[in-house]
A and B are shown apart, each in its own frame.
Chain A
Amino acid sequence: MPVREGTYGLLAEFDSPSQLVRAADGAYQAGYRRMDCYTPYPVEEAAAAIGFHKNTVSLVCLIGGLLGLATMFGLETWISVWAFPLNIAGRPYFSWVAFAVPAYEWTILYAGLSAAFGMLFLNGLPQLYHPLFNAPNFRSGATTDKFFLCLESTDPKFDLTETRGFLDRYTPVSVVEVEY
């Protein structure tokens, strides 16, 4: 893969979540789409402001859960009915009542694992390099007390001078140009 060069985007730093949300909201209104917010803790409003509503983690989790249910219930049925039928105090081989508990456990297990790994996969993690860490203020502030909005250069609306001017209107602490 060729090394990408040039500007990754413009990173604006804010002191409070409400300033960030206002800027993100404004950028979305102005037509920017390729952008992201970086906050030290989850700010749901910021996610809503940049038009991020749904993701597929819940679907992955549901499919995982159903697979777990089917796998364990199928396994129990196969063992008890065909592979190794045992007469346990005269109960039927197909004892769905007793099968329910392990099947339920596997539903939870598969759903949990697929939610966790599905989330990591869909996040693009693990990621060994991200251009934003080239910005020194991002390194020191993003996990403590600063709120960042990055408008990315891949956005068709992106223009170095115009976008910088746009971001300045929201009175950020700083606007930094980030290189790949």
Chain B
Amino acid sequence: MAQHSNSEHHAKTLPADLSAPAFVDTWRTRALIIGCIFLALAIILGFLSGDHWSHFLRAWLHGYMICFGFCCGGMALLMVQYLSGGKWGLIIRRPLEAMTRTLPLVFLYFLPVGIFGMTFGRLYIWSKYADWATALKEHLITIDQAHAIHFKHAILNPVGFWCTSLVVFTIIGTYVFFLNKLSLKRDADPEPNFRYWQVKFENISGFGVLLYAIMLFISVIYWVMSLDPNWYSTVYGFQFLVGEAYGVLALSILTLIALSKADPIKSTFRVTEQHDMGKLCFAFVMLNIYLAFGAFLIIWSGNSPEEIPWYLDRIRGGWGVIATLDFVFHWLLPFTLLLSANLKRIKSRLAVVCCIMIFARYWDMFWLIEPNFKDAARNLHFSIGILEYATLPVAMISFWMAYYFTQLKKRPLIAVNDPHLPQILEPEHAHA
């Protein structure tokens, strides 16, 4: 113990080689293999299900929203850490940048949603039955739906969908480009210029966070909320925003824990910062349930026929089981586990909580998407098609992970030229 504590009293030196360790390549290979297997399974299921690839497309939307969350939520958290400062932000920065650089793949994932889901009307009934009067006459939609499609036509129309989506991707892409470019430039700056860089990133991020929130709110309204054109909720975008941070934080901690087996993360990822990130996870677990339960409580109290069916679709007919498990995975398990201070300081246990949190996002997205469709609302039943949700998103996330690992390898894992750098090399509690 004497030796152990002596070594803790001395500051460490930054490893000479800051690039990602070689085993990241192994991760990528594994991710690709898993992706291929699950994609093959998803395609086989698509042929077997006989629902004209309907569930395949729904599962595609599911996988797309999860990957979009990782990529763009990563960008949001990247900007938040520039604004908040803190040592945790320095250690988490490069993984977050790697997530943002996956945007091209996420855009590719979006295209089938836009083309098949919207333009061919396979997902969104407002585009399939844009001619609501005829559809109503043929009893394809209810009178409420016809009214909603008619009334919301100003927003829910193909031009609006495509323009909004493309503008959102352009703006996010611009931000991703500049955030990544400037970060490398900062590394290469021969002078420290701490103040200059800090102010520069703060200025970009301050407006960026606000702009991103608006972009996300608009796009989730189009991509997910409009699956049910009758329903609306003003807190919907905010729930996605918090949910993204929830998933991204869990993924970042998992990445850092896995990378900490070797340098450079091994000698820079201290228990102090790990504990801080665990606490931040706890905060997001609380904020998430606050929004989700708050929205539910308000709609439950209001008991209005325009709002309540959305929840009834997701509770009745067996969906209550899914909703309850969603609550368990999303809040009960992470909350009770993260209450413990010790757990947040032990890597293997914190990693388990992070896995639960990512799984919770997956589960929640299923609960959000599937009951929008007529065959599934208030009727949770087994079909071959529903298995798509267990295969296609896994494949999409695996391919996304492979791309993420590729991006992770492209840059040094620690951003230098930051006043926090000497601090994370100090022994734990050296501030005391």
Interfacial residues, chain A to chain B (CB-CB below 8 A): 17-18, 21-22, 25, 29, 41-46, 49, 58, 62, 89, 91, 97-98, 100-101
Closest to B8 in A: A45
The answer to whether B297 and A43 have CB atoms under 8 Å apart is no
Is B2 at the interface (CB under 8 A from chain A)? Answer: yes
Chain A residues closer than 8 Å to B428, beta-carbon distance? 45
Pick from A22, A45, A89 the residue with the most CB of B within 10 Å. Answer: A45
Contacts of A18 in B (CB 8 A): 9
A49-B296 contact, Cβ under 8 Å, with A44-B432, A89-B303, A91-B303 = no
CB-contact partner of B297 in A17, A42, A58, A101, under 8 A: A101
Beta-carbon nearest neighbor of B5 in chain A: A25
A43 to B296, CA, bound (A): 44
- A45 adjacent to B429 (CB under 8 Å): yes
B297 x A100 contact (CB < 8 A):
yes
Asked whether, in the complex, the Cβ of A17 is within 8 Å of the Cβ of B432, the reply is yes
B301 touches A (CB below 8 Å): yes
CB contacts (< 8 Å) of A46 on chain B: these are: 432
Closest to B299 in A: A97
Q: Are B303 and A42 in contact (CB under 8 A)?
A: no
- The contact sample of 30 A-B pairs, CB cut-off 8 A, is A17-B432, A18-B9, A21-B9, A22-B9, A25-B2, A25-B5, A29-B1, A29-B2, A41-B432, A42-B432, A43-B429, A43-B432, A44-B429, A44-B432, A45-B429, A45-B432, A46-B432, A49-B5, A58-B341, A62-B339, A91-B303, A97-B296, A97-B297, A97-B301, A98-B297, A98-B300, A98-B301, A100-B293, A100-B297, A101-B297
Quote the shortest CB–CB distance from A83 to chain B (angstroms): 22
Residue of B nearest to A26 (CB): B2
**Bound Cα distance from A167 to B262, whole angstroms:** 40
For window 309-345 of B, CB contacts with A under 8 Å fall at: 339, 341
CA–CA, A97 and B297, complex, Å = 6
Docked complex Cα distance between A100 and B293 (Å): 9
The CA-CA distance from A98 to B296 in the complex, in Å, is: 10
Nearest Cβ on chain B to A43's Cβ, whole angstroms: 4
Closest A-chain residue to B342, C-beta based?
A54
